[in-house]
Structure 1
Amino acid sequence: MMTGFRLNLSPLKEPLGFVKLVEWLTAIFAFGSCGGFSGTNIISLFCGDGTNETLNANFHYPFRLSQVPLVDGNTTICKHSVTTTHMMGDSASAAEFFVGIGIVCFLYSMVALLVYLGYMHVYKDSDFGPIFDFVITAILVFMWLVCSSAWAKGLQNVKDATDTEGIDASLALCKGGNITCEVTDFASMRTLNISVVFGYLNMFIWAGNAWFVYKETRWHSQKFSSQPGPGRQQVPAPI
């Protein structure tokens, strides 16, 4: 059996190769829209004497908010001395898990496309290739479900920690007294919302691709080869 590289673009015209190309693109959108995020919320502090002051809450991937300084160093705000204060919350594990699965799927899609376009003759002549491809695809379907759900919850935690109530909980200055704290300018989290959508979209695309990969395995071929053809009658065994 010849095992050399043979470039053949015809798999891209078939569901097996075309869907893998779509997976490669959607994985980029998923981890890119999450991993490249950086935003700033503007916090307005309305002091009791009629003056106003502002703070900037800068946050970015991987969203370790507990390490993001809201007030950096000892300073005076509304005539009150405030020590170094950090935001509350940490969604790094969910965000990094999501981005990590996206990168793994991006790399696996590239390798699979290379096999489909250059080594399809080896892929179809062996049992190992399609079975391995199917098992990995099925695992990644489950991983997309888990990481997308975890990141959806992590994103909600980020939103809660960076809104007015979250800032009030972080700044002791805002608790009681005659000082009112309010987030007056919110960072756009549209790309983060899009990342969650692409996470679940990837799950459905990989689930659909699992069927086309399964059809290449011997499990599928044995299932249909074992079924009697139309009009074929089973002859009873002699007693």
Structure 2
Amino acid sequence: MAAPRVSLGALKEPLGLSRGLQWFFSIFAFATCGGFEGSVTVRVTCPGGDNGTEARVTNVTAAYGYPFRLNQAVFQPSLTHLCNHTWPHDVHLVGDFSSASRFFVGVAVGAFLYSLGALGLYLGYLHLYRCAGSRLPLLDLLFSCLGAALWLGASSAWAQGLRHVRAAVTAPLPHCPSPTVTCDPAAATPMGGLGASVAFGFLNLLLWAGGSWFVYKETPLHRPAPPPDPAPM
């Protein structure tokens, strides 16, 4: 294997700069989605008894987070002990949105690893990358276009999944027998970070689509092959 020729000059070119931006913003994409933890709290008011006892108020909380299997998030303390056993079973949030969120985080991690590897190639082996007959630019272009397509699919799927997560978290508590028992929203974790993850996803889509152009310019499809050496006289 040829010895590396380490040079930071590639970072000053659009080819290396775009890879650096892809690596940097992929971190924000998977961190804002994969690191999210939240909860939703509902205030349950049980009616008072016939003997003049006051109504009892209890806050129940369901914790959830990545990968957003909301149907596994149980309200605690158990509602089966409240309001004279109004709820015969534990109550969960509704929905499983793990496929969209895991797809998104998987694409972000893959983009992080590939862009980091490509940066290492540019910084140490740019002379081999650009030598005559090298197929590395064509392979790089193939993976760049694939990355842009994956970012489009993952960001769109997660944007749709996030809308469902918001709707599920803000939905009324199931099987609340109003007006006998009242169930009022008390608190919920803000989802600004999850909204940012969608924004970072589409930003990465633009970075990978734009970066594909700079990779294309390195391929024989754009750069003509050098002319053959003149024949000796």
* TM-score computed with the length of structure 2 as normaliser: 0.88
**CA offsets 1:83-122 (integer angstroms, 9 cap, x no match):** 2222110110000000000000000011000000000000
Distance in structure 2 (CA, Å) of the matches to 1:80 and 1:159: 29
What one-letter code is carried by the residue in structure 2 that aligns with 1:19? S
Note if contact 2:46-2:182 (Cα within 8 Å) is conserved in structure 1. yes
2:68 aligned partner: 63
1:113 aligned partner: 119
Distance in structure 1 (CA, Å) of the matches to 2:177 and 2:156: 33
Are 2:136 and 1:129 equivalent residues in the alignment?
Answer: yes
- Alignment equivalent of 2:208, drawn from 194, 206, 209: 206
SS at match of 2:59: strand
Where do residues 26-45 of structure 1 align in structure 2 (5 Å cutoff)?
26-45=25-44
Distance in structure 1 (CA, Å) of the matches to 2:177 and 2:216: 59
**CA offsets 1:2-44 (integer angstroms, 9 cap, x no match):** 8211101000001100110010010000001000000111111
SS at match of 1:45: strand
What one-letter code is carried by the residue in structure 1 that aligns with 2:120? L
Which structure shows the bigger proportion of residues in helix conformation? 1
Where do residues 186-197 of structure 1 align in structure 2 (5 Å cutoff)?
186-197=188-199
Q: Which aligned segments of 4 or more residues in structure 1 are displaced greater than 6 angstroms?
A: none
Where do residues 69-84 of structure 1 align in structure 2 (5 Å cutoff)?
69-71=74-76, 75-82=80-87, 83-84=89-90
Structure 1, unaligned runs of 5 or more: 226-239
Change (3 A) 1:146 1:175: farther
What one-letter code is carried by the residue in structure 2 that aligns with 1:179? V
Task: Using the TM superposition, name which of 43-52 and 24-33 deviates more.
Answer: 43-52
Change (3 A) 1:186 1:74: closer
Distance in structure 2 (CA, Å) of the matches to 1:123 and 1:183: 59
Distance in structure 2 (CA, Å) of the matches to 1:79 and 1:104: 52
SS at match of 2:81: strand
- Alignment equivalent of 1:184, drawn from 165, 182, 186: 186
**CA offsets 1:127-178 (integer angstroms, 9 cap, x no match):** 3100000110001111101000100111111111111xx243xx32x14442
Give the root-mean-square deviation of aligned CA atoms.
Answer: 1.8
Distance in structure 2 (CA, Å) of the matches to 1:101 and 1:159: 22
Task: Using the TM superposition, name which of 80-89 and 95-104 deviates more.
Answer: 80-89
Alpha-carbon deviation of 1:187? 0.3
What one-letter code is carried by the residue in structure 2 that aligns with 1:158? V
Distance in structure 1 (CA, Å) of the matches to 2:193 and 2:112: 19
SS at match of 2:150: helix
Are 2:16 and 1:11 equivalent residues in the alignment?
Answer: no
Distance in structure 2 (CA, Å) of the matches to 1:176 and 1:40: 23
Note if contact 2:46-2:180 (Cα within 8 Å) is conserved in structure 1. yes
Note if contact 1:19-1:205 (Cα within 8 Å) is conserved in structure 2. yes
Distance in structure 2 (CA, Å) of the matches to 1:11 and 1:44: 58
SS at match of 2:58: strand
Change (3 A) 1:182 1:124: same
**CA offsets 1:51-73 (integer angstroms, 9 cap, x no match):** 32111011010000111112565
Alpha-carbon deviation of 1:81? 4.2
Are 2:22 and 1:23 equivalent residues in the alignment?
Answer: yes
2:56 aligned partner: 51
* TM-score computed with the length of structure 1 as normaliser: 0.86
Change (3 A) 1:72 1:52: closer
Alpha-carbon deviation of 1:183? 1.7
Change (3 A) 1:132 1:54: same
Percent of residue pairs identical: 39
Alpha-carbon deviation of 1:184? 1.8
